[in-house]
Amino acid sequence: MYDQLVEAWNKMLSKLKSWLDTIIINLPNLLIAVIVFIIALIVSKYVSKLALKLLDKSNLQRSMKRVIAKLVSIFVILLGLFFILGILNLGKALNTILAGAGVAGLAVGLALQGALANTYSGIVLSYIKNLKYGDWIETNDYEGEVIDIDLRAVTIKQVDNNLVYIPNKLVVENPIKNYSTTAQSRVILKCGVGYESDLKKVKRLTIDTVVNHFKAVENQEDVLFLWREFGDSSINYELRFWINSTSALEVAKAKSETMMLIKEVYDQNNINIPFPIRTLDLPKNFSLTHNASQSSIEE
């Protein structure tokens, strides 16, 4: 038993000595490999910056430019790793690594299906010309300005200045309403006036107010005024006109301004905007005091 332990110990020392000799022999190669790796990292950064400068002259979206620059940087680093394997005489090990990478890649792909789907969707969104930085969009029940599109999510800034990060997959698979694809946006306002109002006068005053206040509205034909219904307490109408803006916030401001202007004009012309009321049609011989006294007598 003792002899077997001694023999095993000697074999281990011999193996360690052979490894140490190999390391000493290949120490220059190791130093060169480290230097090559550092150089590859530095070169990848400069190449990435150079790629971004060259891509700035193209019509690609900023997110796609960054993706291409990152891919170029990764390619430079991989090229440096291939050089390192050659310096260390690990050509045979490369085949083993590639074979193992194929199996590992399959397993990682299955485990990261959601992340890969968002990455692919991010690349797709980068090529869509109708969706770019600064656009005001509405998607997945969120509305705001697009401030970033990366490989994971689309970032939009809402009216209240909060940021919403929507996964790229959801943006690709669901409808997108882009308010910035046109130079103008439509303001739609609904209101009602009392039944005693002169409807022609109401229409004329309302249209004149919009034409005189908004520069985008050049004449009365640019304003659409429609009487919609006889409501419970008012005759309701719908007002439509265009403004030179693609922002939903500007549309809301224009609508608010229109409400104040219309209310001011209506007050000056004794036009009533009624709140919900109920009219009671009582018999001519009905007397509230008579009925009240009759009820007290019966009690």
What pLDDT, on the 0 to 100 scale, is given for residue 298? Answer: 47
CA dihedral 211, 214, 216, 218 (to 10 degrees): 20
Q: 39 φ, ψ to 5°?
A: -60, -40
Domain boundaries, the chain: 2-116, 131-178, 185-268
Question: How far is residue 214's CA from residue 40's CA, in Å, rounded to a whole number?
Answer: 60
User: Given 1.10.287.1260, 3.90.1300.10, 1.10.260.40, 1.20.1440.230, which CATH number is that of 2-116?
Assistant: 1.10.287.1260
* pLDDT under 70: residue ranges of the chain: 1-3, 13, 16, 19-27, 59-61, 63, 90-114, 277-281, 286-299
**pTM of structure:** 0.48
- Fold equal for 131-178 and 185-268: no
Class of domain 185-268: alpha beta
141 Ramachandran zone, left/alpha/beta (phi>0; psi -120 to 50): left
Percent of the chain topping pLDDT 70: 77
Task: Give pLDDT tens digits for 214-244.
Answer: 888 888 888 999 999 998 889 999 999 988 8
131-178 placed in CATH 2.30.30.60: yes
Count of helix runs (H) and strand runs (E) in the chain: 9, 8
Question: How far is residue 124's CA from residue 120's CA, in Å, rounded to a whole number?
Answer: 6
What pLDDT, on the 0 to 100 scale, is given for residue 229? Answer: 93
275 Ramachandran zone, left/alpha/beta (phi>0; psi -120 to 50): beta
Question: How far is residue 24's CA from residue 202's CA, in Å, rounded to a whole number?
Answer: 97
In this structure, are residues 60 and 52 in contact, taking their beta carbons and an 8 Å threshold? no
- Token pair for residue 77? 């680093």
